[in-house]
């Protein structure tokens, strides 16, 4: 069975009398360890779709099955432990906690269930090495550049070694050199071969890294062919 199955997902937002149809009947099936990149114009619904696949938002109607579980039916209480084990999410705006250091931010996902502090510290060190931020572990987010914050956010998403990694425009608003570094990190994650990766990105290199490319247009999803 596919790892992720979306069935007729619709999402609309009501702002007074104004109705925005963000997702207009999405059907999608993603296999384990696929690397999916999603492109599409601003407002097409990419973030809405990623948030729903990551259990951060609920669809107006439709089913979201991840590893056989319909996450749309889980309560907020049972979602937290589910997320901690299953999901790493990289936000476009980083969402680091401003009062915690870089290494404390990376350790957050482990706080829920990892008892052994030595194991946590070891994993944090390993991840900071991977994103080349080992010298900045005790710095606060405000002392880091956008690209450095993004690398910390990626390390945090990987903390619990989740089977599913979702990233929303991880190279947007970064300079070319930093974007290249982020692409390289995703290449390494892909090569580790044990994650299902779903990214919204306009970066051609991300599209090339992906094993499957999708295109969103006004709340609908199209598969892109080999010739793009
Ligand atoms: N909280 C919200 N309330 C009302 N409308 C919303 C909300 N979030 C998103 N929308 C609307 O839903 C549609 C899809 O937005 P979404 O953020 O998913 O697009 P996107 O493809 O991620 O765009 P971008 O490339 O600019 O990030 C847009 O028309 C947007 O205005
Ligand atoms: Mg978006």
Give the mutation target among 43, 54, 166 for probing the ligand 1 site: most ligand atoms within 8 A of CB. 43
DSSP letter at 13 equals: E
Domain hosting 155: range is 32-58+76-223
> The whole model's pTM is what?
0.95
Give the mutation target among 9, 22, 222 for probing the ligand 1 site: most ligand atoms within 8 A of CB. 22
The 10s digit of each residue's pLDDT in 103-114 is 999 999 998 777
The answer as to whether 181 is a domain residue is yes
The answer as to whether 18 is a domain residue is no
The answer as to whether 126 is a domain residue is yes
* CA 56 – ligand 2 centroid, Å: 14
The answer as to whether 9 is a domain residue is no
- CATH for 170: 3.40.50.300
The answer as to whether 97 is a domain residue is yes
Q: Are 29 and 214 in contact, with CB atoms under 8 Å apart?
A: no
How many domains in the chain? 1
The answer as to whether 68 is a domain residue is no
The answer as to whether 117 is a domain residue is yes
The answer as to whether 24 is a domain residue is no
Buried b (16+ CB within 10 A) or exposed e, 19-52: eeebbbebebebeeebbbbbbbeeebbbbbbbbb
pLDDT band (50, 70, 90) for residue 144: very high
- pLDDT at position 95 over 80: yes
Q: Can you point out the beta strands (E) in the chain?
A: 4-15, 18-30, 35-40, 61-66, 69-70, 87-90, 164-168, 196-200, 212-217, 220-223
Q: Which of 20-24, 92-96, 207-211 has the lowest mean pLDDT?
A: 92-96
DSSP letter at 160 equals: T
pLDDT band (50, 70, 90) for residue 81: confident
- pLDDT at position 226 over 70: no
């Amino acid at each position: 069975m596919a790892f992720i199955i979306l069935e007729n997902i619709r999402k609309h937002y009501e702002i007074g009398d104004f109705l925005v149809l963000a997702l207009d009947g999405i059907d999608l099936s993603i296999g384990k360890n696929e690397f999916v990149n999603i492109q599409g114009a601003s407002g097409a619904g990419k973030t809405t779709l990623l948030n729903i696949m990551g259990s951060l938002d609920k669809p107006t109607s439709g089913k979201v099955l991840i590893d056989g579980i319909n996450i749309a039916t889980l309560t907020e209480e049972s979602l937290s432990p589910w997320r901690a084990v299953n999901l790493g999410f990289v936000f476009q705006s980083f969402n680091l906690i401003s009062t915690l250091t870089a290494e404390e931010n990376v350790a957050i996902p482990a706080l829920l269930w990892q008892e052994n502090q030595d194991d946590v510290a070891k994993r944090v060190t390993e991840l900071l090495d991977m994103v080349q931020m080992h010298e900045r572990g005790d710095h606060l987010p405000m002392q880091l550049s956008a690209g450095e914050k993004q690398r910390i956010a990626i390390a945090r998403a990987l903390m619990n070694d989740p089977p599913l990694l979702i990233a929303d425009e991880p190279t947007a608003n970064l300079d070319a050199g930093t974007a290249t570094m982020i692409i390289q990190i995703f290449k390494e994650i892909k090569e580790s071969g044990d994650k299902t990766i779903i990214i919204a990105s306009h970066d051609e290199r991300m599209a090339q890294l992906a094993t499957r490319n999708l295109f969103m247009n006004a709340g609908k999803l199209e598969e892109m062919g080999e010739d793009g």
